[in-house]
Chain A
Amino acid sequence: MKKLLEINDLYINFKTLWGVAKVLNGVSFNIREGEIFGLVGETGCGKSVTALSILRLLPPNAEISGKILFKGDNLLEKSEEEMRKIRGKKISIIFQDPMTSLNPLFKVRDQMLDIIELHEGLDRRSAEEHAKKLLKAVGLSDPERILNSYPHELSGGMRQRIMIAMALSSNPYLLIADEPTTALDVTIQKQILELILDLRNQYNFSVLLITHDLGVVAEVCDRVGVMYAGNIVEIAPTEELFENPLHPYTQGLLSVVPDPRIKKPLKPLKGSVPSLLNPPSGCRFHPRCFYAKGICGNVKPELHEHSPGHFVACHLYGGEDQ
């Protein structure tokens, strides 16, 4: 499969009052055409910043270096004008909280039609036809009523369906979904995840799914990247990652997820996530790692291919620097 998006050695620093936060520390991964790539990690690991950087939506105090290649073009070199033609048209994003993503003062009709008119250059009438078709495609059976509603009149699940409909209105190549189901109840989460899967199978776009929930990853992703404190520590096809996790952090993460099917002991990692203002040297995970040795505190391990398609950044598995 062809690569749609390639991120190479992405570094992002934020200048803050308390110093420079080193939020991304050399992130590299790619997303292939038509695949669902999951980015998983705990709060503050940099997964949302990675998503926002793809659309160049970071605040002005961010310093970015590296490459983000979308269909071969480096998005970091695009002008603001060119980016505006990509955002929402070629790459769309949906966020965690569908309430705050929709404007509470306008009916769904105005918000949806504005976007469709802008991106597709349609007149009001054909835009409305298109909007109704989209709403049906995301499982909202009464599009007329939805278009006439204000966001607060709709449930969280319905609002997220509308966000998905809007995101897909111009047939994007890539859908970025940043914790799309975190604010929803499990039965609604299931419906939204099934919807994303169905639409992907139908329209064959790629998805970057950002989540903290390993259950969600296991259910829908084709491949997964695990992030820790601004680094990608492991990338593998989903089944391979769950069956044969290599990085000690991935192993730790998998052993703390309570399984609803059976009670098994939880073995928590020691310590907590480090501050990115003053991150640990070498491998950022080494202060919490059970296997840490001398080199781990000094040299940052690079991501390398341990077995075909399975990448890990850990000195335990050697690599080119040894």
Chain B
Amino acid sequence: MIRVEHLKKYFPITHGFIRKKIIWLKAVDDVSFGIKDGETFGLVGESGSGKSTTGRTLLRLYEPTGGKVYFNDIEVTALSKQELKELRPKMQIIYQDPYSSLNPRLTIFEIIAEPLREYGHENVKETVLELLEAVGLSEEHAKKYPDEISGGQCQRVAIARALALNPEFLVLDEPTSALDVSVQAQVLNLLESLQRERNLTYLFISHDLGVVRYLADRVGVMYLGKLVEVGTIEQVFDNPAHPYTRMLLSSIPVPDPKARNLKRERVIGEIPSPLHPPSGCKFHTRCPYAKEICKKEEPEMIEIEKGHFVRCHFVGELQ
């Protein structure tokens, strides 16, 4: 359904005034993956890895620097502004902070009605009430303003608004990161049941690997603008092949004191600045297995089993 081919997004950073110097920040650097109909594809990584930029660039909220995005065989990256507007209802996004993504001066009703009116929908009132019910809110919420309801309820409103035009594909950009765990669970269950009822396809962006394990079918791990590992949830979580994936997985605090994760695998250093990324394999500065070749040559994506791709020179040789 979604096909991303060699997607690139570089941001220019200018230095100096008279002798201007431009450095390119490669936020997304040659990323390729596909999402099947009705599937949830998780995108994980630390802050600055380029996962949010990937989500926004593939919706063309940012203009890509290079590469192609296909949505049901339509080349999104080749559409004109007008054509893109016609496609927008099919592709929607939900952001992390529910308060700042809702207009504080509109009632909940108006917030959900806005896209319907914009696209010339009839029966606006009925549709809004249906949507409210679908996300577990009631008619009484319709008259309120965003600051009168809780964070979890705001996120439900954002979901209702995204669903208003019957989309097929949703980008969920850290949709539960600002919520408490008990509310997070409610929203995750809601997203799961909406996906089943409406046959939605999700790109789920998160730094929380527990949440990704819960919701995603397949997952891609990003590091400094590159995908380093792609596979099914079971392949990546139960059998991680890239040293970075292993480091990430062994860093998560597990809610079970008998399985203390600390001390098991050493974690080295911090994510380098994306303005000055390391040469060769971008992970070599933190990799416990790095050798000479890793500093010089960037590894290719290799398929180690069906559907499981890894970008590492020594894949298969690592224990």
Q: Give the B-binding residues of A (Cβ under 8 A).
A: 42-43, 155, 157-158, 185-191, 193-194, 197, 212-220, 238-239, 242, 252-254, 256-263, 266-269, 272-273
Contact = CB atoms under 8 A, between A and B. Distances in A.
B214 A43 contact: no
B214 A185 contact: no
Given A187-B248, A191-B267, A194-B262, A254 B255 contact: yes
A252 B247 CA distance: 30
A214 to B, nearest CB: 5
Given A252-B182, A269-B182, 15 more contacts: A187-B248, A190-B267, A191-B267, A193-B262, A212-B180, A215-B252, A219-B253, A253-B182, A256-B185, A258-B188, A258-B208, A259-B213, A260-B237, A263-B233, A267-B185
Contacts of A253: 181-182
Contacts of A261: 213, 237, 254, 259
B72 interface: no
A218 B260 contact: yes
A146 to B, nearest CB: 14
A106 B267 CA distance: 31
A185 B208 CA distance: 10
Nearest to B46: A185
A193 B254 CA distance: 13
B207 A242 contact: no
B261 interface: yes
A215 B186 CA distance: 19
Interface in B169-210: 180-186, 188-189, 207-210
A191 B259 CA distance: 17
Q: Which of A197, A217, A266 has the most CB of B within 10 A?
A: A266
Given A187-B267, A260-B210, A260-B237, A215 B255 contact: yes
A188 B181 CA distance: 21
Contact of B251 (A186, A214, A238): A186
A261 B250 CA distance: 10
A197 B189 contact: no
Q: Which 10 A-B pairs have the closest CB atoms?
A: A215-B253, A258-B210, A256-B185, A268-B185, A185-B46, A266-B185, A42-B180, A190-B251, A186-B251, A258-B214
B213 A262 contact: yes
A194 B250 CA distance: 13
Given A212-B180, A263-B214, A189 B253 contact: yes
Contact of B257 (A42, A218, A263, A272): A218
Interface string B125-146: 0000000000000000000000
A220 B182 CA distance: 22
Contacts of A259: 210, 213, 254-256
A107 to B, nearest CB: 21
Contacts of A213: 253
B47 interface: yes
B258 interface: yes
Contacts of A217: 255
Contacts of A43: 180
Contacts of A214: 181, 255
Contact of A218 (B186, B189, B208, B256): B256
Given A186-B46, A191-B267, A256 B182 contact: yes
B248 A266 contact: no
A257 B253 contact: no
B263 interface: yes
A261 B234 CA distance: 10
Contact of B270 (A155, A216, A268, A272): A155
Contacts of B1: none
Of B46, B183, B207, B257, most buried by chain A (CB within 10 Å of CB) is B257
B98 interface: no
B152 interface: yes
A290 B222 CA distance: 41
Nearest to B286: A187
Contacts of A252: 182
